[in-house]
């Protein structure tokens, strides 16, 4: 990459910090998850930034900085931007290009900042459960910043977005999973799947050799982090350089698998496009035909944030350590979120989303659905797991030819007289009858990743039955028998 990477000392523990420092010294040239080196260390302020000192209990011990254009109207969007390791709010403000688009499109910015008091390299602690889970640590501090900024600027709480680089991207993914009710969209730049790591050692594993889990396993990590009953998910942009040796490009694939699974859509792109800077864009549409997940692969780019200095309408930012001259990621991300007034903003469909989607009946091979009528709809498109399976002029449909004992996700969109689908409804899950029990033998950790168990306080419990299974680790192994959809019992004695 032509430059050395400052080692990332993730932990808050001084003893472990010293241990990692000795390890790095012994392993010269070792790489770590860093966002960029700022000469003289993190800086606290920059022209245009305003520090906000009272924004809540701040359990994560973070600092809050904001930027907003003059005469910003009420109801404008809000973007939260997370710096990388050894960076600062002012550094990210100066290089990322986000302030220019805040001025152009009209939205407020929040730049959270961590420090060496939290982490030796001023990294957001994306791998620490106590800092990245909902309602805890740094994640809660950032949530409190959102509340403060929404109140201060009169922002539209339905249009709050989060983006981050490197360690900030790892935290971004976790925030999207833990707070899907807060963030309408996110951008993960040179980052990792949500809740890939829960310790220092697994953080390095995720960075250099990410686990090759199934989409369902990755998706389960998001669903388990989100509030129970969540049916609406953020739209996610994934940015990754093909020459990144700090966060391996395979992470982008695992991220794609994770968020397409959460959305209930497949892993085959709806379409691909060639952009500037050697960038290939792969788009994954939702059931209504709107982009839900986008993957930007930048050929030859190393670890960093893609910028493109210049005065052109699609250019932005300035180069620096880990700010790489390729393509303006902030421009394309802003457009993906609909901040330019087109595309993704709420209510952009020709018709509103149908309400009241309900499973009215199931058999071994069928699912019946009903929903409320939408004014102006000439028909309705019914989608199963992201694929259209029916078009009907009524407000009811029956899906046939299904497998027994299987869960399916359904959404409905109203279609106008021109054949254009409007916004997609909230999803519902239906499970056909005739369930066949299955058995699974694995470690407590793998059971949890697969959704067959859950962990609480370091211990593992079977999903549904809540039977105790011992410590949450890779060494303790059990056999679980699934006796009903979402219900498992310990069956070590025989299955």
- pLDDT tens for each residue of the chain, 495 residues long: 333 333 333 433 333 333 333 322 222 222 233 333 222 233 333 348 999 999 999 999 999 999 999 888 888 999 999 999 989 999 999 999 999 999 999 999 999 999 989 999 889 999 999 999 999 999 999 999 999 999 999 999 989 999 999 999 999 999 999 999 999 999 999 999 999 999 988 999 999 999 999 999 999 999 999 999 898 999 999 999 999 999 999 999 999 999 999 999 999 999 999 999 999 999 999 988 889 999 999 999 999 999 999 988 899 999 998 999 999 999 999 999 988 865 444 334 568 889 999 999 999 889 999 999 999 998 998 988 666 788 899 999 999 888 877 777 888 989 887 777 788 788 788 888 887 788 999 999 999 988 899 988 889 999 988 899 999 998 999 999 988 777 899 999 888
DSSP class of residue 361? Answer: E
Which pair of structure tokens corresponds to residue 103?
Answer: 């001025």
- Indicate whether 347 belongs to any domain: no
- Same domain (yes/no): 445, 406: no
Which pair of structure tokens corresponds to residue 157?
Answer: 């709480």
Q: What is the pLDDT of residue 208?
A: 93
- Indicate whether 182 belongs to any domain: yes
User: How many helices and strands, by DSSP H and E, does the chain display?
Assistant: 11, 26
- Same domain (yes/no): 389, 331: no
**Side-chain half-sphere CA neighbours of 294 within 13 A:** 26
CB distance 122 to 73 below 8 Å = no
- Same domain (yes/no): 313, 400: no
DSSP class of residue 104? Answer: H
Task: Indicate the helix (H) or strand (E) that contains 165.
Answer: strand 160-165
- Of 123, 115, 111, the residue nearest 42 (C-alpha): 115
Query: Of 386, 414, 431, which one is at a domain's C-terminal end?
Result: 431
- Indicate whether 43 belongs to any domain: yes
End-to-end CA distance of the chain: 53
- Same domain (yes/no): 116, 238: yes
Find the helix packing angle between 167-178 and 215-225, rounded to 10°: 70
Q: Which residues are catalytic?
A: 166
- Indicate whether 307 belongs to any domain: yes
Residues 6+ apart with CB under 8 A from 268: none
Query: Of 284, 305, 336, which one is at a domain's C-terminal end?
Result: 336
CB distance 291 to 336 below 8 Å = yes
CB distance 20 to 203 below 8 Å = no
Tokens 């594993």 belong to 205
Q: What is the pLDDT of residue 7?
A: 31
- Same domain (yes/no): 475, 384: no
- Indicate whether 342 belongs to any domain: no
Q: What is the pLDDT of residue 411?
A: 84
State which residues form the domain around 248.
Answer: 14-336
* C-alpha pair distances (Å), 321 with each of 20, 85, 219, 338, 414: 23, 12, 33, 29, 48
């Amino acid at each position: 990459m032509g430059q050395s990477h400052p080692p990332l000392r993730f932990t808050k523990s001084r003893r472990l910090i010293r241990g990692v420092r000795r390890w790095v010294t012994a392993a010269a040239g070792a790489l770590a998850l860093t966002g960029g080196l700022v000469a003289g260390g993190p800086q606290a302020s920059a022209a245009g930034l305003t520090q906000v000192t009272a924004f809540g209990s701040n359990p994560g011990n973070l600092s809050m900085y904001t930027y907003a254009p003059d005469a910003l109207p009420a109801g404008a969007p809000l973007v939260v931007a997370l710096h990388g390791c050894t960076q600062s709010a002012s550094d990210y403000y100066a290089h990322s290009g986000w302030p220019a688009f805040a001025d152009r499109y009209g939205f407020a910015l929040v730049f959270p900042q961590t420090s060496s008091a939290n982490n030796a390299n001023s990294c957001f602690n994306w791998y620490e459960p106590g800092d990245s889970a909902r309602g805890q640590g740094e994640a809660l501090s950032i949530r409190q910043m959102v509340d403060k900024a929404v109140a201060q600027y009169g922002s539209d709480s339905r249009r709050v977005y989060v983006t981050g680089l490197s360690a900030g991207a790892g935290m971004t993914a976790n925030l999207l999973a833990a707070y899907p009710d807060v963030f309408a969209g996110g951008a993960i730049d040179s980052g990792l799947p949500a809740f890939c790591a829960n310790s220092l050692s697994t953080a390095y594993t995720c960075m250099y050799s990410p686990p090759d889990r199934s989409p369902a396993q990755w998706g389960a990590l998001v669903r388990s982090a989100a509030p129970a009953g969540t049916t609406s998910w953020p739209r996610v942009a994934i940015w990754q350089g093909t020459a990144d040796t700090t966060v391996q490009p395979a992470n982008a694939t695992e991220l794609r698998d994770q968020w397409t699974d959460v959305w209930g859509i497949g892993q085959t792109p709806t379409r691909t496009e060639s952009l500037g800077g050697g960038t290939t864009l792969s788009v994954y549409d939702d059931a209504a035909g709107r982009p839900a997940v986008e993957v930007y692969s930048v050929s030859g780019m190393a670890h960093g944030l893609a910028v493109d200095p210049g005065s052109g309408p699609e250019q932005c930012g300035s180069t620096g350590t880990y700010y790489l001259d390729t393509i303006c990621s902030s421009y394309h991300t802003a457009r993906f979120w609909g901040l330019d007034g087109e595309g993704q903003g709420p209510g952009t469909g020709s018709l509103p989303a149908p309400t009241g989607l309900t499973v009215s009946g199931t058999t071994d091979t069928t699912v019946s659905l009903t929903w409320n009528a939408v004014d102006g709809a000439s028909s309705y498109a019914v989608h199963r797991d992201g694929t259209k399976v029916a078009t009907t002029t009524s407000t009811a449909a029956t899906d046939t030819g299904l497998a027994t004992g299987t869960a399916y996700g359904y959404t409905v969109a109203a279609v106008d007289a021109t054949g254009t689908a409007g916004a997609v409804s909230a999803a519902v899950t239906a499970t056909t009858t005739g369930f066949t029990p299955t058995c699974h033998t694995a470690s407590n950790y793998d059971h949890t990743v697969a959704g067959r168990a859950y962990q609480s306080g370091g211990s593992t419990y079977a999903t549904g039955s809540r039977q105790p299974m011992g410590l949450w680790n890779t060494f303790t192994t059990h056999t679980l028998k699934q006796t009903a959809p979402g219900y498992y019992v310990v069956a070590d004695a025989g299955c």
